[in-house]
Structure 1
Amino acid sequence: MKIQGKMFIWLSVFVLAMAIVYGVWSKEPAGTTALFLAFGLCIMVGYYLAFTARRVDAGAQDNEDAEVSDDAGELGFFSPHSWQPLSLAVGGALAFMGVVFGWWLLYFSMPVILVGLFGWVFEYYRGENRTQ
């Protein structure tokens, strides 16, 4: 992960330079704002990857002599039967339609989003998967 963190940090430096140049030359606020927000996103991802790389063992991607098979194995736990992302997607779609059709639609989307978020966070703390 060390190389990915460095790549995003260097990308953020480039995007910041381009945002400044674009802002000075074009004097157009929307594109300049978008580039500064892209800089912020790049810096956040780069910082997270660099921060995480210090706390985990070096991966195969950090070794120049590594083979593709060196990175094989378990990638993590992924829930095989969760319906909560669908609930969040429906709630998010309703919320974005509220921006288009009227803010009153948020009254219907927020409960769907909150139920989906609550269900996803506490998915393994109830029922047969509950820890004792």
Structure 2
Amino acid sequence: MKVQGKMFIWLALFILIMGVVYGVWSKEPAGTTALFMGFGLSMMIGYYLAFTARRVDAMAQDDKEADVADEAGEVGFFSPHSWQPLALGVGGALAFMGVVFGWWLLYFSAPIIMLGLWGWVFEYYHGENRTQ
């Protein structure tokens, strides 16, 4: 955690320097404002990570002698195959085409999106936890 905090603080300082240089050279307010806002956001993230790093135990990334496998563990369960993202993609494509060609396409895309979403959420509800 300490490494990420330092990285974001250094990134914030770099963005601040680039914001000043860009503002002086270009005299363009939109880009200069965006860079200063980027400085503020990076500083907030860096401060938060540095602040919480003091309250969290040292992790493997804080140890210079650590291996990559020291932090390895189970990440979670990922579905090996599923047809539901295809249904969501087709429904989403139809919905966005409805914005271009006509809102009437939403009548066809909304049921496809709802079926794909329903199928994806309840894909693994089988057995004793299944609702009747």
Coarse TM-score class (shorter-chain normalised): 0.5 to 0.7
**How big is the shift at 1:39?**
0.3
Q: Secondary structure at the match of 2:55?
A: coil
Structure 1, residues 37-94: CA drift from partner, whole Å, max 9, x if none?
11011101101110111000111001111001111x557889xxxxxxxxxxxxxxxx
Q: Secondary structure at the match of 1:41?
A: helix
Q: Secondary structure at the match of 1:55?
A: coil
Aligned to 2:46: 46
Aligned residue pairs total 122
CA distance in 1, matches of 2:75, 2:68: 18
Larger Rg: 2
CA distance in 2, matches of 1:60, 1:13: 26
Aligned to 1:112: none
CA distance in 1, matches of 2:57, 2:37: 31
Letter in 2 for 1:16: L
Aligned to 1:65: 65
Q: Report the RMSD for the aligned CA atoms in angstroms.
A: 4.6
Aligned to 2:55: 55
Aligned to 2:113: none
Letter in 2 for 1:41: L
Q: Secondary structure at the match of 1:11?
A: helix
Q: 1:3-18 to 2 correspondence within 5 Å? A: 3-18=3-18
TM-score after normalising by structure 1: 0.56
Letter in 2 for 1:47: Y
Pick closer, same or farther for the CA change 1:76–1:69 going to 2, 3 Å. closer
CA distance in 1, matches of 2:31, 2:68: 40
Structure 1, residues 69-128: CA drift from partner, whole Å, max 9, x if none?
111x557889xxxxxxxxxxxxxxxxxxxxxxxxxxxxxxxxxxxxxxxxxxxxxxxxxx
CA distance in 2, matches of 1:77, 1:37: 35
Quick one: percent identity of the two aligned structures?
69
TM-score after normalising by structure 2: 0.56
Q: Does 1:2 align with 2:2?
A: yes
Q: Does 1:29 align with 2:32?
A: no
